[in-house]
Amino acid sequence: MSQENPLHHFELEPIVPIEVMGVDLSLNKAIFAMWGGMAIVFILFMIVVKGGLKTVPGKMQNIAELFIEFIKGMVGEFIGKEGMKYFPFVATLFFFIMSCNLIGLIPGSYTITSQLVVTGIFATIIFIMTLIIGFAKHGAHFLSILVPPGVPKIMIPVMVPIEMISMLARPLSLSVRLFANMTAGHTVLAVLFGLVLSAPGWISWMPFGFTIVINGLEIAIALIQAYIFTTLTCVYIGDVIKLH
């Protein structure tokens, strides 16, 4: 069995070719996975809300309330009382990333968050959003975020470039963290499956068992990474609003 490049299953072929003025907008597995993720979250919440929310929640409403309370707690803890206006954005981010991560684990499907383009766009938008929030709320005083409290005046010219680099490292690390976790997980799974297929029959149960364990780990990583991305987003927004 020839060993293919383990990154080969990240490649996309167009399923429905669409070309608009020279730009390739063809539908491929990634687009369908993204639509599937959005559709699942939308349909699940619509089922809960249909017919009105009851005061004594049923099963589905209970689970939805669990998630909503969880995200409300996260937003309230890091951003504070006035952070509730960012709650819809944070909740959407969490559910979208979680559903896209989990849909990628279905065999034959595609994880869009394993592409640096996708996670990079998320992180860039969040970074630009924090800048806009900071300048809108504090005006020019927002630049004092680059000077940590309690720094002697002499050290300020040294601290400002370091703090600027640290601010710019935030969207970079945010995007690369999610992208690398998803890519590494799927690559490990691909390599292990290749090992199962190329090993002689009497020993191939070992990598197969390991694949099952790694698959479980991937589900946990998918959930944890969505949680981490959302938590760090809340931390960055709270940082910018509270200015230390």
Partner 1 sequence: MDATAAAFIGMGLCALGFFGAAIGIAYVFAKTIETVGRQPNAEGRVAKYCWIGFALVEAVALYGLVLAFLIMGKIPG
Closest to partner 1 by CB, 28 or 183: 183
CB of 11 vs partner 1, minimal distance in Å = 13
CB of 177 vs partner 1, minimal distance in Å = 4
Distance CA 31, CA 112 (A): 8
Mind giving me the DSSP string for 125-169? HHHHHHHHHHHHHHGGGGGGGGS-TT--GGGHHHHHHHHHHHHHH
Distance CA 213, CA 30 (A): 26
CB of 176 vs partner 1, minimal distance in Å = 6
Closest to partner 1 by CB, 86 or 229: 229
CB of 227 vs partner 1, minimal distance in Å = 7
Closest to partner 1 by CB, 48 or 189: 189
Distance CA 73, CA 62 (A): 16
Q: How many CB atoms lie within 10 A of CB 220?
A: 9
Closest to partner 1 by CB, 111 or 225: 225
Distance CA 60, CA 31 (A): 28
- Give contact residues for partner 1 (rule: CB under 8 A): 7, 173, 176-177, 179-181, 183-184, 224-225, 227-228, 231
